[in-house]
Chain A
Amino acid sequence: MPPPERIDDPSVRDNECLWRRVHPRDIIRDSESGELRPTSAAFRPSDEMSVDIGSLTTAEAVLSNYPHHSLIEFTAGIVRKEGGIVVRDPLPDNPSHALVCGKNPEGRLTKSQAKKIQQSSKWVIRKTP
């Protein structure tokens, strides 16, 4: 279960794209397709996962201080389909900031949840690792 104080925010629609930066070390070549993809590990911080709400920012802004990172997107709908929740969490310097909370007590995505989100994700901007 997500942390008890967290409640899913339905104002973040299912078709809203959520963006997350991916470090070059978390990009691997898929053994089946041969394409570069993020590893599921990129979606497993130690607790809730920071994302940006795509409609509230730009890819350039999200990557502005991180020239070597790539940007991946997935929908709020896939998070909910896999049992997670999405919470707006605007920061003073980043109003598009939000949190994805998984089934673990601390809000961390389970490995299965992270894998499903990875499988549904698409590149917004992919840098060569």
Chain B
Amino acid sequence: MIATAEKEPKRSWENTDISSLTSIRYSEVISLRPDYTPHWLKDALITLFHIASLPENWDSYGGPTPSSTAVNNALTFMRAVQVEDLPVPNIVPVPGGGIQIEWSIAHRELELEFLSDGSVEYLEIEDEKPIHEDKIIPANNSQLQSLLLWLTHAATRKNR
């Protein structure tokens, strides 16, 4: 008997520019199959959609609508995350047009700010103290995944 590898079904929302979605189309995007979509990702996509729809001056200080570059880079990063059992991140708008994703696991926090110019600024926090920040130009997925690895090691240390 020849074993046949089951091909993962193509996800309809892949390669979709989320900033161009209308609410009707978005309902198609978030109807993801629960058998292979991590819980955190589905919630994160819903939040990201709402943030992408913020109007000009949403912050009351003249802040622009989150840029499509920032939104799509955040989306691309989250799609590429291979870890399924992450907590749901906080996804928040940044007044200058960026998107920030924040994760907290045990004693570590990671802030990833996707800027409108395509770069990413990050901050590592340990025991509530900022310990390192830097900028990645342009957004480099392997570097971002390394930062996520740093974060998830907090759970490993906690479980010892």
Q: Which residues of A contact B (CB under 8 A)?
A: 21, 23, 25-26, 28, 31-32, 39-42, 44-47, 50, 65-66, 69, 108, 110-112, 115-116, 119
CB–CB A46/B104 < 8 A: no
CB–CB B130/A41 < 8 A: no
CB–CB A41/B113 < 8 A: yes
CB–CB B92/A111 < 8 A: no
Closest to A39 in B: B92
CB–CB B93/A44 < 8 A: no
Closest to A24 in B: B58
Which chain B residues lie closer than 8 Å to A112 at the CB level? 123, 130, 133
- Interface mask (B26-70 → A, CB under 8 Å = 1, otherwise 0): 000000000000000000000000110010001111010000000
Top 6 A-B pairs, shortest CB-CB distance? A46-B96, A112-B130, A111-B123, A45-B95, A31-B104, A41-B100
**22 A/B residue pairs, CB under 8 Å, sorted by A:** A23-B58, A23-B93, A26-B92, A28-B102, A31-B87, A31-B104, A41-B111, A42-B59, A42-B95, A44-B96, A44-B98, A44-B113, A45-B61, A47-B96, A50-B61, A108-B96, A111-B111, A111-B133, A112-B130, A115-B130, A116-B130, A119-B128
Q: Least Cβ distance of A19 to chain B in Å?
A: 12
Which chain A residues lie closer than 8 Å to B111 at the CB level? 40-41, 111, 115
Known: A111-B113, A112-B130, A115-B123. A21 touches B60 (CB 8 A): yes
Closest to A20 in B: B61
Q: Report the Cα distance A44→B123, complex, angstroms.
A: 13
Q: Report the Cα distance A39→B98, complex, angstroms.
A: 13
Q: Report the Cα distance A50→B60, complex, angstroms.
A: 10
Known: A41-B94, A45-B96. A25 touches B51 (CB 8 A): yes
CB–CB B113/A25 < 8 A: no
For B102, give its contact among A39, A47, A50, A108 (CB under 8 Å): A39
B148 interface residue (CB < 8 Å to A):
no
Q: Least Cβ distance of B47 to chain A in Å?
A: 9
